[in-house]
Amino acid sequence: MSIPKMFQSRGKRIVSDTFPVTSFSCSLDETFAARRDSYPFGPEDSETQSLASISVKTEPILRSKDKQKTVLAVLLEFRDSEAAYVHDLHVARRYYAERLNGHVKKSEWKKVFQVFLELCQQATLFKSEISKAFDEEIANMTEEIQVSVRLKPSVAKIFLKWLPKLSSVYSRYCLDQDDIVKIVEKWSNSPSMSDYLQECDSMAKIESKSWNLDSFLVKPMQRFLKYPLLLNQLYKSASLGMIQDYVLLGEACHQSELASQRANEMKRRRDIVVDALKAVTDTQEILVLSTDTVSKKLSKLKTSINVFYIPEHEQIVSLIQDLFSSYSDLVALRTSICEWIKYSRMHYTHMHTFVDSYVHFCKETPSMQKWIPVSLELQNIAKGAILCLIEQCQKDVLKPMSKAIHYCRNPLYIADVWIRRASAFSKRRHSGLTIETDLESFPLLSNCLLEELPILLSLTRSTTDECIVAFSKSQATFYATVTKNLTPFVSSFSTVNFSNLKAIENLMDQTVNNSTKSV
């Protein structure tokens, strides 16, 4: 007996589900138990699985929201702290810089407030531009606008644009900190100034949380050193796609850290240089600048067997020699130019003496009145040319040259200190003795000379070349002026027979008429 097709199809389907058809000995409960064992999860487990899948999907969204809140908090802190900082700068400007101007020495006021006011101006412009970027970034994140749609300059781009200017002015302000502290301390200890400063303090406290002038003056350095911290905090809290120019923000973090390190390094070098200059006496200054003391000491140092214990000694010795040579050349060139101007003035201002002799010879005669204008005209020609020469040389030649000579003096003093310390340092290292306290900073002083002397030498040489070119132009202008004015005057005398008194009289009449017309 064959099985009906209906049962055959069912049997095939049951077989495909792995349940036997030929044997019907299993009870209904056993069949259900077998089916439960074939499922990987029970009813309760499947419900737990669905809840876990929902939590996995929502967890990234929650983390993204928390991260967005953190980024917004950092942006708000950066923007608001920058606004508060600039506000304090203007409070210090109004109640200290402007009020103390005229109450203290002009030189002291400039030392304390000149760079501070420049810094205040730069910080105001920076705050105005970067605040717009902060507002735009905050609005975009709040409204969840895609980064690719944002077109305005980002925080990172604006910061990198302003960093060179800020680094320059903040570094200069950092270098003056020690002098500023001493001057403010002097003002505070002065009986005539302490009451006035307290009056300024009381007015400034109304608009700011700072309590005195010192606390205002230290804010710029604190702010500049805080920029890397704020940028790093923003970079770590954000991620790619969350904030505009995220990769550029990492570059801003790096560059701000380098700028802070440079400011600290410049301050450290300044302290080393100041300590070295303190070791220079007045007698040593005169010897260094007026004789070849540096050259003699360098020659002695190079022939010493201990010189090999000095790091980078060959390069430093060569730089010092070049500096001393450039300084000597500048001094000699300035002396030669001054001498040339002196003799030119003596020569051309005495050109009218031969005319004066005729004036005295013709005294109390009708011709005397005719010779006087001729003498004055010659004198004016010579004096006018000399005055133009002196004025042009003073402006284009002597002032830049004197400034370059002045810039070379302190490095020469420091070089002299380095030579003396190098001798002591090399002897101690050669002998295996311990380095004394005053020689511990010698390697740092060597690094300063290695990095700063090439820059100074380049400036000195370029200044020398510019002064030589300017002096050549001044000479050419001077000779052209003298030739132009004197040639017609001298040529008129060369065609006259001086034995004929009448011819001389006519020439004098012509000269007087020309002088009158020119006047």
Chain CA centroid to CA 505, Å? 70
Q: Is 342 inside a domain boundary?
A: yes
Whether 96 and 204 have beta carbons less than 8 Å apart is answered as yes
**Which domain range does residue 512 map to?**
282-518
Q: Which of 253, 278, 303 is the C-terminal boundary of a domain? A: 278
Q: Is 204 inside a domain boundary?
A: yes
Whether 92 and 116 have beta carbons less than 8 Å apart is answered as yes
What pLDDT digit, counting tens, does each position of 174-216 carry?
A: 888 888 999 999 999 988 888 899 999 999 999 988 888 999 9
How many Å from the N-terminal Cα to the C-terminal Cα in the chain?
Answer: 152
* pLDDT recorded at residue 478: 77
**pLDDT higher for 181 or 268?**
181
Residue 316: which of 461, 425, 421, 419 has the closest Cα?
Answer: 419
**pLDDT higher for 500 or 268?**
268
Which CATH number covers residue 348? Answer: 1.20.1270.60
CA distances from 212 to 39, 81, 95, 220, 226 (A): 79, 20, 11, 15, 21
**pLDDT higher for 238 or 291?**
238
β-partners of residue 240 are 243
Whether 498 and 356 have beta carbons less than 8 Å apart is answered as no
Mean pLDDT of the chain: 75
What pLDDT digit, counting tens, does each position of 385-422 carry?
A: 777 777 888 888 888 888 888 888 888 888 888 888 88
**pLDDT higher for 95 or 409?**
95
Here the tokens at position 27 are 């009870």
What pLDDT digit, counting tens, does each position of 435-455 carry?
A: 776 677 778 888 888 888 888
Q: pLDDT band for 61, please (50, 70, 90 cuts).
A: low
My answer on whether 200 and 297 are in the same domain is no
* CA–CA gap between residue 140 and residue 488 (Å, rounded): 80
DSSP 191-235: HHHHHHHHHHHHHHHHH-S--SHHHHHTHHHHHHHHHHHHHHHHH
- The number of distinct structural domains making up the chain is 3
My answer on whether 221 and 344 are in the same domain is no
* pLDDT recorded at residue 67: 79
Least confident interval from 134-143, 449-458, 487-496: 487-496
Q: What is the pTM of this model?
A: 0.59
My answer on whether 264 and 287 are in the same domain is no
* pLDDT recorded at residue 479: 76
What value does the mean pLDDT take over residues 232-250?
85
Q: Is 24 inside a domain boundary?
A: yes
My answer on whether 191 and 299 are in the same domain is no
My answer on whether 214 and 310 are in the same domain is no
* pLDDT recorded at residue 117: 94
Using CA atoms of 119, 95, 216, 74 in order, give the dihedral in degrees to the nearest 10: -70
Asked whether the predicted pLDDT for residue 1 surpasses 50, the reply is no
* pLDDT recorded at residue 138: 86
What value does the mean pLDDT take over residues 305-314?
70
Q: pLDDT band for 495, please (50, 70, 90 cuts).
A: low
* pLDDT recorded at residue 410: 81
Whether 279 and 442 have beta carbons less than 8 Å apart is answered as no
Q: Is the dihedral of CA 339, 341, 347, 349 positive or negative?
A: negative
Q: Is 123 inside a domain boundary?
A: yes
* CA–CA gap between residue 272 and residue 266 (Å, rounded): 10
**Three-class DSSP category at 398:** helix
**Three-class DSSP category at 279:** coil
Whether 368 and 504 have beta carbons less than 8 Å apart is answered as no
* CA–CA gap between residue 519 and residue 516 (Å, rounded): 5
* CA–CA gap between residue 141 and residue 205 (Å, rounded): 36
> Any idea how long the chain is?
519
* CA–CA gap between residue 242 and residue 67 (Å, rounded): 9
My answer on whether 247 and 289 are in the same domain is no
Whether 234 and 249 have beta carbons less than 8 Å apart is answered as yes
Q: Is 254 inside a domain boundary?
A: yes
My answer on whether 258 and 321 are in the same domain is no
Asked whether the predicted pLDDT for residue 498 surpasses 60, the reply is no
* CA–CA gap between residue 445 and residue 35 (Å, rounded): 88
Amino acid at 171: S
Q: Is 43 inside a domain boundary?
A: no
Give the count of alpha carbons within 13 A of 80, CB side only.
7
* pLDDT recorded at residue 3: 45
Q: Is 503 inside a domain boundary?
A: yes
Here the tokens at position 193 are 């100034």
423 contacts: CB under 8 Å, gap ≥ 6: 301, 304, 306
Residue 340 backbone phi and psi in degrees, to 5: -65, -45
My answer on whether 385 and 494 are in the same domain is yes
What value does the mean pLDDT take over residues 50-77?
68
* pLDDT recorded at residue 10: 43
Q: Which of 261, 278, 295 is the C-terminal boundary of a domain? A: 278
Chain CA centroid to CA 312, Å? 28
Q: Is 493 inside a domain boundary?
A: yes
DSSP 34-47: HHHHHSSS-HHHHH
152 contacts: CB under 8 Å, gap ≥ 6: 132, 133, 136
Which CATH number covers residue 193? Answer: 1.20.900.10
My answer on whether 352 and 274 are in the same domain is no
* pLDDT recorded at residue 359: 56
Number of separate helices (H) and strands (E) present in the chain: 19, 0
What pLDDT digit, counting tens, does each position of 346-365 carry?
A: 766 565 555 555 555 555 55
My answer on whether 431 and 514 are in the same domain is yes
My answer on whether 72 and 19 are in the same domain is no
Axis-axis angle for helices 313-349, 442-494 (nearest 10): 20
What pLDDT digit, counting tens, does each position of 110-122 carry?
A: 999 999 999 999 9
What pLDDT digit, counting tens, does each position of 140-167 carry?
A: 777 755 544 455 678 899 999 999 999 9
Q: Which of 278, 312, 333 is the C-terminal boundary of a domain? A: 278
My answer on whether 274 and 299 are in the same domain is no
**pLDDT higher for 180 or 378?**
180
